[in-house]
Amino acid sequence: MPALAVIGAQWGDEAKGKIVHFLARKAEVCVRFNGGPNAGHTVVDEHGEVSLHQIPAGALHPQCLGILAHGMVLDLWALEEELAALGRQGRPQPKLLISDRAHLIFPWHRQREEQEGLAQRLGTTKKGIGPAYADRAARRGLRVMDLSRPDHLAKRLCAEGASSILPDLSRLREKFAPFLGDARAVLAEALQAGKAVVFEGAQGTLLDVDLGTYPYVTSSHTTVHGIPWGTGVWPTLAVVLGVAKAYTTRVGAGPLPTEDLGPAGQRLREVGREYGATTGRPRRCGWLDLVALRYAHTVNSFTHLALTKLDVLSGFPELKVAVAYRLAGKRWETFPPFAEDLFQAEPVYETLPGWHKEITGIREFSHLPKEAQQYIRFVEEGLGVPVALVGTGSRAEDVIVRAELLGYT
């Protein structure tokens, strides 16, 4: 089967975990290519609810190999804990392959994040992500492959005043040894053999270090462009699935034109349980933003969209959707490239009728109230991308499939 990519179309937290888990039921490989433990991909299945931070969500399926590619920055201590948490839920240990080339996160990266005040300034997740990527770019990072170079490792740890963690690192090296390897080569072979491969984006398009709302972004490439960057392969992607929530959320600082600070935003937060899976922080909430989504489409060339958490919108008498911005007295149909402009952008809304019926767990488009169908069609037409999947609840099976996605659905 040709490869499929799942990409966040907003500011992250679009429920990609659920969608990836759903699509990977028949996949042979699932690849995380960017970010690290800043991500929180939540899956609810027969074992209960789990938030994955570094393990690809597809790897929860026993047949699926989870690749942690070199575009990620890895915290091995956190990975150990993540595996232990899966064990405590009675889940089988996932099949994993960790890229030798991936850079490692160390305690000093978190300390630097703290010292530089990044959490206060940008609302970062305090996982050491930015400083680890900075070390990588400055060519002083330590990679997974360096774990087998104890002399080199000892020298670097000494330079960082962290020699005491050397024995623990040796232990982790032993523990993870069976999972380490040339992930790029294995992935290239899998693609060549036509295996079913799902690429699992972390964070969202508007948090991309170059294409997002800089500087209020993460430090990696969160878009479809992150796939070749973070894996070293150039896959033929028959499906690029953008994942967007039926409304908008953001955690951390930065512009959010459709943010609603009144009762509507409050209701979205409570009904949608909009609290960070990684940090527990309340998410900022607001209406769907088609200007931002159209921009995400121009960046990623989505072939399809998954519209998630539609059930959260039930009970609103009417629903607003931003179709343009008003900025400096003019109407803007496109997404301004500068965060400073976005802070000033006022959304121009269209109002659609809401619905009262509870839609949680509905699996047929025709069973949705006509207003919910109209909402989906409005998004589809406004974006020019077919909505292939609709999320109607947190459980794995709460999905409406409107279009087959190769053999994955």
The Cβ-side half-sphere exposure at 171, using a 13 Å CA radius, reads 7
Name the residue with tokens 């002399």. 151
- Determine which residue in the list 2, 123, 181, 353 makes contact with ligand IMP, applying CB under 6 A: 123
DSSP result, 306-372: EEE-GGGGTT-SEEEEEEEEEETTEEE-S--S-HHHHHH-EEEEEEEE---S--TT---GGGS-HHH
Smallest distance, ligand IMP to C-beta of residue 107, A: 16
142 binds ligand IMP (CB under 6 A): no
122 binds ligand IMP (CB under 6 A): yes
Smallest distance, ligand IMP to C-beta of residue 38, A: 4
Between 342 and 359, whose beta carbon lies closer to ligand IMP? 342
Between 99 and 218, whose beta carbon lies closer to ligand IMP? 218
- Determine which residue in the list 125, 223, 231, 394 makes contact with ligand IMP, applying CB under 6 A: 125
- Determine which residue in the list 207, 305, 310, 345 makes contact with ligand IMP, applying CB under 6 A: 207
- Judged by CB under 6 A, the stretch of 35-43, 162-170, 346-354, 377-385 that binds ligand IMP is 35-43
Are 388 and 400 in contact by the 8 Å Cβ rule? The answer is no
147 binds ligand IMP (CB under 6 A): no
Q: Which residue is nearest to ligand IMP (CB)?
A: 252
Structure tokens at 274: 């909009």
Smallest distance, ligand IMP to C-beta of residue 328, A: 26
**Span 248-307, contacts to ligand IMP by CB under 6 A:** 251-252
What is the C-alpha separation between 329 and 325, in angstroms, rounded?
10
**Span 213-252, contacts to ligand IMP by CB under 6 A:** 218-219, 251-252
Structure tokens at 226: 């992150």
Which of the 8 DSSP states describes residue 69? Answer: -
Are 183 and 139 in contact by the 8 Å Cβ rule? The answer is no
Helix axes 76-88, 166-176, angle to 10 degrees: 50
Give the residues lining the site for ligand IMP (CB under 6 A). 12-13, 38-40, 122-125, 127, 129-130, 202-203, 207, 218-219, 251-252
Residues known to be catalytic: 13, 41
